[in-house]
Amino acid sequence: MLARLRARNAPVDVDLPGRLSVTEIVRGMTDPEDLRDQVRRPMPVQPSRRATLGTRFHAWVEDRFRHQGTLDVEFEGEQGIAVGRSQRSTADDEMLAEFDALCRAFESGRFADRQPYALELPFALTLGGRLVRGRIDAVYRQPSGGATDLLVVDWKTHRGGTADPLQLALYRLAAARTYGLELDRVAAGFYYVRRDRFDLVEQLPGVEELVADVSRLTAVLGRD
């Protein structure tokens, strides 16, 4: 009986997939067991209210700059189906009000009139033997003659004022490789939309540190 209990509680090596998303890396560095369980027993995850709101806001920003749209947006209900006002639930109305407030905050914020160089930029880069995939919210050209050529911006729609710099470091590296720049020619920061606050993060992990992080995550979670 004791032997069976020990075997049941013993750590289980997990064969990580060859590809990891930025979200998985950040989650794994914060809570390796959570990622281990997800890889071992993949389960569909219902998006949180915060995640859903963020996704809709990102899509609105992209549409705004690509088509110079207005605040008139089609709203999707809880099930992802476009609905009219008479069909919306209380939760939908609350989400719409919050979404509308985010859009208006952006319209009056510092990035409203600054044209992005790229939006929702997909990338794939190799780190520590793993293919890392992600999507950069926005990339801006910097004024000529400055210390950097590009600025990577990650939109933050939540009310808090904290974010993981590991995520931003991966985005910065991806932008540098995408555009053939030295890493120190790319600046990066978080933009907190609700408060029109931009935090430029000057001390971010470099390539060697990121490779070490991914390799360490792989070692903690299981076999290569």
Burial of 43 (0-12, 13-18, 19+ CB in 10 A): exposed
Q: What would the mean pLDDT of 62-68 be, rounded to a whole number?
A: 87
Query: Given this model, what pLDDT does residue 68 score?
Result: 67
112 in any annotated domain: no
**The token pair that represents 165 in the structure block:** 């710099």
What count of residues does the chain have? 224
pLDDT at 31 over 60: yes
Q: Which of 30-39, 118-127, 183-192 has the lowest mean pLDDT?
A: 30-39
**CATH, residue 137:** 3.90.320.10
6 in any annotated domain: no
Q: Identify which of 35, 37, 11, 8 has the alpha carbon closest to the alpha carbon of residue 217.
A: 35
Angle, CA 176 vertex, CA 174 and CA 177 arms, to 5°: 65
What share of the chain has pLDDT > 70, as a percent? Answer: 75
Domain boundary among 71, 88, 107: 107
**Full-prediction pTM beyond 0.95?**
no
42 in any annotated domain: no
Domain boundary among 39, 74, 107: 107
Using 50, 70 and 90 to split pLDDT, how confident is the model at 29? confident
**What is the C-alpha radius of gyration for the chain, rounded to an integer number of angstroms?**
20
pLDDT at 37 over 80: no
Check whether residue 217 and residue 140 sit in a common domain: yes
Check whether residue 77 and residue 168 sit in a common domain: no
44 in any annotated domain: no
The number of domains in the chain is 2
Question: Domain of 67?
Answer: 49-107
Check whether residue 141 and residue 90 sit in a common domain: no
Identity of the amino acid at 11: P
pLDDT at 220 over 50: yes
Pairing of strands 150-156, 19-21: unpaired
Q: Output 3 or 164, whichever has higher pLDDT.
A: 164
Q: Identify which of 9, 14, 18 has the alpha carbon closest to the alpha carbon of residue 37.
A: 14
36 in any annotated domain: no
Check whether residue 100 and residue 130 sit in a common domain: no
Check whether residue 188 and residue 128 sit in a common domain: yes
Domain boundary among 107, 130, 149: 107
pLDDT tens digits for range 175-192: 999 999 999 999 999 999
Check whether residue 184 and residue 157 sit in a common domain: yes
Query: Given this model, what pLDDT does residue 127 score?
Result: 93
Q: Is 141 left (phi over 0), alpha (psi -120 to 50) or beta?
A: beta
- The number of beta carbons lying within 10 Å of the beta carbon of residue 213 is 20
